[in-house]
A and B are shown apart, each in its own frame.
Chain A
Amino acid sequence: MSIYQEIILEHYKNPHNFGTIKDPTKKTSVSNPLCGDEIEMEIVFKKNKVSEIMFKGQGCAISQASASILTDFASGKSKDDLKKLDKNFMTKLLGIELGPNRIKCALLPLEALHKLI
């Protein structure tokens, strides 16, 4: 099965939550110098829950689609919920099987999210 499923391509071409927040509670940036993927992520918490989350970045389709899908998921979730997210969760969320090299691209946005909580 190709990893370039419609849902991935849709999020890659028209990413959700793409941009910046005026007064974020916290912001961070992560990168993978090996392939040049970069993600900047900003977040606003209200009562320990995500009220707003945005990202900007560049890189491969997988890293960018993953950021779009993950930020969708994270909206409204509590810090404790988000802390639990791991590799297995991301694989299920994206619905594709990734090899050892490409899984790093998918996990980059999660690394950013974990730095924010």
Chain B
Amino acid sequence: MDLKSHKADFPIFKNLPGLVYLDSTATSLKPRFTTDKLMEYYTQYSANVFRGVYKISEKATEEYEETRKVVAEFINAKRIEEVIFTRSTTESLNLVAYSMGRKIINEGDEVVTSVMEHHSNFVTWQQLALENGATFKVIDVTDEGYLNLGLDSGQVIIPLGTGMTLNLDNIITKKTKILALTYLSNVLGTINPLKEIIQAAKKINPKLIVVIDAAQAIPHMKVDVQDLGADFLSFSSHKMLGPTGVGVLWGKYELLDEMFPFNYGGEMIQEVYIDKTIFKHPPHKFEAGTPHIAGVIALKEAVRYLERIGMDKIRQHEKEMVDYTLKKFQITFGKKIRVLGPKEVKDRGGIVSFTFGNYHAHDIAQILDEENICIRAGHHCAMPLHQRLGISASARASFYLYNSFEDVDKLVRGLKKVENTLK
């Protein structure tokens, strides 16, 4: 992969030449195509969408709806109307819990998620279950960092892409109304074999609603929502080179159409009377109020940029980055570094979370920052997972298309400084 030319597309590296950015899991950096497009909207046609019968409003609307089409094609949605713009992955997940969850969850039902979830895909379902008297079930992880879809024999690891048939009788029942899972863990890096899981789960209960948190998957690998077989899938613009403040919810049209609206207000109504309101159909039913117009418009430039480079190339690059990092860690620090998550590079995304001796993650991150190396330290919005792993915090380095082996070398040198300072 020709890194130099990609790195040149990110103005931040011109402004901060020594920057080693290893926190793309938190948010990605922005290429000039994204920022140029934001500026284009604000300087050339900064009108509201849908309402105006004048040229610049029509232009803004056209650009806004064009992003819907580009995103729909990017994830292979069946219909453009299945793409809804929200504020974030978090809001997308909450939208499903509120508009679908409230409609279908009753006392005695089951809501299932896993212990490797980000809080947004954990607390949302935990609270939905608590509020409605449903049972909240949490799938465990194995010590290796895979979902523990244990059969009678205990731990079962499902290698990716094997098309293996699963038995989920111990997890999914006829009472399970919602299964919410991450595609790619933001701590362990584990890529879950979703297609196999969804097939097996829906075999037990065909009415089961499957909600996927794809915030860490969409920016880094090819995702095909029709092939996966899920019902809802959420992700964020800012993690995939787009602007902050925009999230996407994809959902099957028939489900979206029958759900409760999320926010009431302008733009989501067809007709309003004193005694009743008729709502619009998806997607506008879920997009009340003036949206983040510039953000949505600029998101498509991020998607087009990713497509020009190629998702398979990005995935391959990140695999090489992780492979290099794991080897470097092993050679330099041996057992002093404990890497969380699967050992197999093919089963994980571009994320390496670790503990280092008995040094606290915040000290590690702070000393690395003295060398202009940005990593994340803490529980990464996954407290249940850290409790499960028996640690209070971890350090996390994560990669994207603008990272190079040189960044890893600098990280390793930085970690040696951490060792020298704190030992």
Contact = CB atoms under 8 A, between A and B. Distances in A.
A90 interface: no
Interface stretch (A1-9, A15-23, A39-47, A80-88): A1-9
A4 B367 contact: yes
Contacts of B370: 2
Interface in B381-420: 383, 391-393
A102 B361 CA distance: 12
A61 B422 contact: yes
A78 B367 CA distance: 37
Interface in A62-117: 62, 101-102, 105
Contacts of A62: 362-363
Nearest to A61: B363
Given A9-B421, A12-B422, A35 B392 contact: yes
B239 interface: no
Interface residues of A, number: 18
Interface in A5-57: 9, 12-13, 33-37
Nearest to B391: A36
Contact of A60 (B360, B383, B421): B360
Given A35-B361, A35-B392, A62-B363, 6 more contacts: A2-B370, A4-B366, A12-B422, A35-B362, A35-B393, A36-B393
Contact of B360 (A3, A4, A9, A35): A35
Contacts of B378: 34-35
A62 B377 CA distance: 15
B379 interface: yes
Q: Which 6 A-B pairs have the closest CB atoms?
A: A36-B392, A60-B360, A60-B362, A61-B363, A60-B363, A36-B393
A61 B366 CA distance: 11
Given A34-B379, A35-B392, A4 B362 contact: no
A36 B134 CA distance: 31
Interface in B41-74: none
Contact of A36 (B360, B367, B421): B360
Contact of A3 (B361, B366, B383, B422): B366
